[in-house]
Amino acid sequence: MKKYIPLIILLVLKVNTFALQSASAKPADQAGEYEIMDNILITTRDGAVLSGMMARKRGDVTPKPVILQHTIYVRDKGRDLRTIKVAADNGYVGVITYSRGKRYSPDEIFPYENEANDSYDVIDWISRQEWCNGSIGMYGGSYNGFTQWAACKTPHPALKTIVPYVAARPGNGLPMENNVFINPNYEWSFYVGNNKYLDTAAGNDRQRFRRMQFRWWELGVAYNKMDSIDGTPNKWFQRWISHPAFDTYWQQMTPYQDDFARIKIPILAFEGYYNDGQNSGLYYLREMQKYSPETPVYLIIGPYGHFGTQKGGESVLYDYKVDSVALFDITAITYQWFDYILKNGAKPAILKNKINYEVMGANEWGSAQSIDDMSNNSMTLYLTSAREGRFYAADSEIPGKTDFLVQEVDFTDREISNNNYYPDPIIRQEIDTTNGFYFLSDPLEEPILVNGSFSGEINASINKKDMDIGVTIYELLPDGKYFHLSYFIGRASYALDNTQRQLLQPNTKTNIPFSNTHLISKQLSKGSRILIHLNINKNPFSEINYGTGKTVTEENINDAKELLRIKWYNDSFVKIPVWE
């Protein structure tokens, strides 16, 4: 069964809530090398109050560029204070500000919703301070990465660059992926929303939320009743699941479509092949390439997870020993970038081109002008009905005769989970072949570099109106082990447009294209094979689409009386990008 790792930090410093002290910024009375303003308060245009801190070298009154983090995570007595001091140590003024409702802010907490406007107001306030020279750079990971892109929704002239690590994109990666709601943000909402700081008791109570998930799975109640099982109403969860399409609720949180054309500042992003929310971080870069291709946008990406990316990598990831060359000093590169943009310094040496990626298995870095330029060819594999031992053939030629494989899914059966796509461990001794279909390519005649994001088209007919699909790609190594390369999960009814649901016509062959998959760079060995797993998504870790055509969060096990019957047609294919 899949192990899902929530996108939250589980071990945090517990801090107490302090009363609102002042309506203005006052220097803390501290001796030492830093001047600290620890109770900055900023009033937004709509009357909310935001809290923050500033650090600069004591006695240095020369206006300087400001390095800003805007975050929902309040750790003001530990990590936050250290990070703004690091900015001062590097010749900047360091500022950290907190989301509406956090720390000394008296307002309500609604993650994601106000950051576009609030970050603009924070930047505007900073730009008018005597210690700011008019130039501001932002950096940080996950939620802090999201707030940087939110600040670009309406670019402020003082914002000169952003450096987002594994940036979240609400509505596209979390709390749903390709319009399928996934569970990690459920507990995260209590962690960040329960008080002015962080509810570490809720954040660390993994067993509480695992019990809730599995109880929901066993009972078969509707997804929107999940919080009734937990026994604590979750207003944030309910708010999010009321928007299953990528609608205006999500679109207004960060740049959308033509908004990207207004972003002209240089950007350096960091991502990981095994970051759960990679779709979020790369969404922004792909949209920048589409709407503002002349803007200098750089990417550093490698075999990292969500937290590992923010640390410059980990030597072992999900039991996989990472190439030594993949590890780097992310803080040093971040400040080299700030010096390059804000102080006319040298560009970081690692940036050989716009896209800089570590080639897994080769222990080397590669580079390209764009994500599309990472590959110069593709390997197209058709998902045939020809049996090959335990598997079916993944053939480079389209079958001459139309055929299909039939799969039945009983949603009332809670003994069986479908779609074991999570890459933990990355290298497996064996895989579960009890459900779904596996398609195996011929052995590679020469080594080949898989480079980029796979895509494809599934041709299928079902007896219902909708389904959630999973496609997972492995390298079957010559020694018989399975190396997890990438995966996709998505809702068929949103395949053509993630902003508008289009139900399937029952018992009618339908083309379901997909492309928003996880990017990878991996050197494949001679003799290796590509193994493709096609399945329905049904497990305790995301909502269950019973296929009635009703709002999926309202469906329950009573909607599962009829089995889901799928015909997977043999002209379905997967296209894998390669560099030759």
Q: What does the domain layout of the chain look like in residue ranges?
A: 34-179+244-368, 181-243, 377-579
Q: What is the pLDDT of residue 414?
A: 95
Q: What is the pLDDT of residue 374?
A: 98
- Helix (H) / strand (E) element for 145: namely helix 143-151
CA-to-CA dists, residue 16 to 96, 98, 264, 497, 515, angstroms: 18, 15, 41, 45, 45
Give dist(CA 217, CA 234) in Å, integer.
18
Q: What is the pLDDT of residue 388?
A: 87
Residue 289: CB atoms within 10 A of its CB come to 18
Q: Does domain 34-179+244-368 have CATH number 3.40.50.1820?
A: yes
Q: What is the pLDDT of residue 334?
A: 98
Amino acid at 52: G
Q: Are the beta carbons of 421 and 470 closer than 8 angstroms?
A: yes
Task: Look at residue 269 and give its three-state secondary structure.
Answer: strand
Q: Are the beta carbons of 131 and 124 closer than 8 angstroms?
A: no
Q: What is the pLDDT of residue 31?
A: 52
Question: In terms of C-beta density within 10 A (0-12 exposed, 13-18 middle, 19 or more buried), how is residue 216 classed?
Answer: buried
Give dist(CA 11, CA 532) in Å, integer.
36
Q: Are the beta carbons of 53 and 77 closer than 8 angstroms?
A: no
Q: Which residues of the chain fall below pLDDT 70?
A: 1-31
Q: Where are the beta strands (DSSP E) in 347-441?
A: 355-359, 364-368, 377-388, 391-395, 404-409, 427-428, 437-440
Q: Which of 495, 498, 503, 497 is nearest to 551 (CA)?
A: 503
Residues whose CB is less than 8 angstroms from the CB of residue 568 and which lie 6 or more positions away in sequence, other chains included:
383, 404, 405, 406, 407, 437, 458, 459, 460, 534
Query: With the CA atoms of 175, 178, 179 and 183 taken in that order, what torsion angle do they form, in degrees rounded to the nearest 10?
Result: -30
The single residue listed with the structure tokens 């609400």 is 170
Distance of alpha carbon 153 from its chain centroid, rounded?
19
Q: What is the pLDDT of residue 24?
A: 36
CA-to-CA dists, residue 118 to 236, 355, 541, angstroms: 19, 31, 33
Residues whose CB is less than 8 angstroms from the CB of residue 229 and which lie 6 or more positions away in sequence, other chains included:
212, 215, 216, 219, 221
**Token pair for residue 403?**
């055929």
Q: What phi, psi does 552 have (nearest 5°)?
A: -65, -35
Q: What is the pLDDT of residue 8?
A: 33
Question: In terms of C-beta density within 10 A (0-12 exposed, 13-18 middle, 19 or more buried), how is residue 492 classed?
Answer: buried
For the domain 377-579, what is the CATH code?
2.60.120.260
pTM for this structure? Answer: 0.93
The single residue listed with the structure tokens 């096990």 is 557
Amino acid at 81: L
Tens of pLDDT, residue by residue over 399-448, are: 999 999 999 999 999 999 999 899 999 999 999 999 999 999 999 999 99
